[in-house]
Chain A
Amino acid sequence: MSNSNLQLTMDGREKGNVGNIILKVIIYILCTFLAILSILPFWMMFVNATRSTTQIQATAVSFLPSKYLFSNIGILTSKNMFRPLVGFFNSFIVAAGATTLAVYFSSLTAYAQVVYEWKFKNAFFSFIMAVMMLPGQLTLIGFLQMCYKFNLTNNLIMLILPAIAAPSMVFFMRQYLVPSLPIEIVHSARIDGAREFYIFNRIVLPIMKPAIATQAIFSFVGSWNNLFTPMVLISSPKRYTMPMMVSLLRADIYKTEFGSIYAGLTLTVLPLIIVYLLLSKYIVAGVALGSVKG
């Protein structure tokens, strides 16, 4: 048996070597191309943030930074409306709060779907799926009305709490748990006398780390970038989120200040990139389930 195995690998190596190298080259070229394509707009944005409005109007795209970054930021903040720190603070509270709630409660809901047998389990799953399919524009009118009626506008809470019910995340967590949660772990923990909440918090959540990391990033990014709901709910400048600040840039007073617009955009994206890079180690390292399983 070991003999035939050896034969096979040797065979594969003979043929594979050339093919493998060609394939690898193709992979690297394509991946590099895609990577460049991905960061090109960021680079353009950053470069334009350092160029004067006149330079931008002369040639919209350049790859070499210029020296106007600080004067652009100066124009930006001089108008007294664009306050990046306020926007950053509000956005961070909303994004971090919503992400934490969404990730935790979605995992919990998904766990209930996967581990327990209960009467309405399947019905509840169908319900989650149905909720997920509701078109967003549909509920907007009603949501707005509700918020104004109960005086909940200008309240960041309204951007955070609804995240507890994140159907697509529950769906993802469930899909992730189904093949990767060994039920024996739960059983043996129970035998050891662990309570259900303890099992979920201490044993299951760590297993779900890769899923949680990816979903946390998606959720954070989505929440950070959400413009539409805050736009109609928040009217007090003290509660403006970062995208709302950026949106101010399109307003008349900045209409012709292209350099500043790009500087503003850069300021919005920058914190996001930092958070992303910090969290991305989970994506990058890919805490493989198998290792936890051991």
Chain B
Amino acid sequence: MKKRRAYDYAKYGYIFSIPFVLAWLIFQLYPILYTLVLGFSGLKGAGNSDWWGAMLWSEPFKNFITVLHNKSFKNAFLNTLLIWGLNFTPQIMLALLITAWFTNRRSKIKGQGFYKVMFYMPNIITQATVAMLFAQLFLYPKGVINDLFISLHIFKDGPVDMLLSKNVTRGVVIFIQTWMWYGYTAIVLISGVLGISPELFEAAEVDGANQWQTFFKVTIPSIKTMLLFTLVTSLIGGLNMFDIPKLFRDGGPDSATTTTSLYIYNKAFQGGYLYGEASAASMIMFAIIVFLSSLVFYLLRDKDEVELRRLIRKQEKEYKRKAKMSRMM
């Protein structure tokens, strides 16, 4: 009887997943298969689609070897990791801090709604506009930052073309990324906290936990699934970073902000039309992303689950205690 019911409901698991699968099959499968095949062909040149004739039968992995030996691929990969790592760290710390402050039940920050709305604002504006605005700020020889630094006597010998420096440009890209995404991350985390049952906090208060204890012992563990979401999506987004580096300095100066996505795009669409190599590079990136994400899952998942189970047990205990108390009263 019990088994049969479970089987009945399982049907809905499939039914509810059908739209997703269908949409995916129609709109994504062909492009993906196409790229997959291209990776093993030497297809190049705009307007060329005869991949069959270009298949690399004798050395199918030629494109992969070429890409892995490209100095520019290594450079792009390191850039990507660097830019992602340096923007994710401040971003998540800022977001956690905001989450801690805003969900703190005792110090009730006023105007939270206003602040949240403001923090997410940078994400609303089209990335093209953001890139344009920042490029405007750093104009040389006459620009806002230059004027400012000269008037503050930081630049003593006249204006400096700051964006010729690799590290300054990387820094600006990192700043833009952090600035654009910390609000998003904070909102995701806060919405996670709002999903936590209030009883959990009440229980913690009853137990006499202070604010920081509550945050680290109750809030963080409860939003672990959300943290995992943030980490994984940010990792994926970060390794696919394209818009800002492309629109801000087109990957320059001297390839300092060329990310792997930009590298792939340049190979495929910017003059050379090396479709085969670009597809191979995409697949290499895909493999790297899968590997890193799996690593994150592996590192976080078990503990996560254990923690959850512990919490649920704790919660149940609280329930029982409460119930007992109410009965006593």
Contact = CB atoms under 8 A, between A and B. Distances in A.
In the complex they form, whether A and B have CB atoms below 8 Å apart is answered with: yes
A172 B32 CA distance: 23
Interface string A125-143: 0001111111111111111
B229 A172 contact: yes
Interface stretch (B66-74, B119-127, B249-257): B119-127
Interface stretch (B54-62, B107-115, B156-164): B107-115
Interface in A212-250: 214, 217-218, 221, 225, 227, 243, 246-247
A84 B272 CA distance: 36
Contacts, number: 288
A281 B117 CA distance: 9
Contact of B232 (A61, A171, A217): A171
Contacts of B295: none
Contact of A138 (B22, B192, B282): B282
B210 A161 contact: no
Interface residues of B, number: 104
Nearest to A275: B124
A255 interface: no
7 tightest A-B CB contacts, nearest first: A142-B31, A284-B113, A142-B34, A118-B13, A116-B13, A138-B282, A164-B23
Interface of A: 4-5, 8, 12, 16, 20, 23-24, 27-28, 31, 34-35, 37-39, 41-42, 44-45, 60-61, 105-106, 108-109, 111-113, 115-121, 124, 128-143, 145-146, 161-165, 168, 170-172, 175-176, 178-180, 196, 200, 210-211, 214, 217-218, 221, 225, 227, 243, 246-247, 265, 268-269, 272-273, 276-277, 280-281, 283-290, 293
27 contacts: A16-B106, A31-B109, A31-B111, A35-B118, A38-B183, A45-B133, A61-B136, A109-B17, A109-B20, A111-B16, A119-B10, A134-B32, A138-B283, A141-B31, A141-B35, A142-B33, A146-B31, A164-B19, A176-B192, A214-B188, A227-B127, A227-B128, A272-B124, A283-B116, A284-B116, A286-B190, A288-B195
